[in-house]
Amino acid sequence: MIILILASTAAGYVIGFLAPVAAALADRSVDAGILATVRTAVLAAGTIIVAWVGRHARFREWGWLVHPLLIGIGVKMVSEYIKHSRPATSFIAMAFFGAALILPPRLRRGLGKVSAPATA
């Protein structure tokens, strides 16, 4: 539970920092489609970081959060993108989500392998 709170708080801070920079309009409002894409990018990057940290034996519990985080990102995308996104922002968000679907299993795949020393 502590790991989940830590990850969501860190993602919230990063989104709070990036949202005014990336999604701000001239009238000081925020474009909802770009904001949704920024959220997806930060959450996908956070999922990849959690998978990378969970790769180490000392932090194995972090790896258990990868699949729930991916499900959460998928639900968020379905609920937000139907209402707010344009095709360009949807494409970028889908690319980040695709990277989050591909990279964590590859990071975890190397966890159980022990490389044998090379013999001459």
- pLDDT (tens digit per residue) in 95-117: 999 999 998 888 776 655 545 55
**Spatial contact of 93 and 40, defined as CB atoms under 8 Å apart:** yes
Distance CA 105, CA 67 (A): 10
Tell me the Ramachandran region of residue 28: left when phi exceeds 0, alpha when psi lies from -120 to 50, beta otherwise.
Answer: left
Domain span holding position 78: 2-109
Of 33, 30, 47, 56, the C-alpha closest to 110 is 56
119 occurs within a structural domain: no
| 13 located within any domain | yes
Res 79: pLDDT: 85
- Record the pTM: 0.76
pLDDT of residue 98: 92
Query: What residues contact residue 58 under an 8 Å CB cut-off, 6+ apart?
Result: none
Domain count, the chain: 1
The neighbouring-strand residues paired with 30 are 24
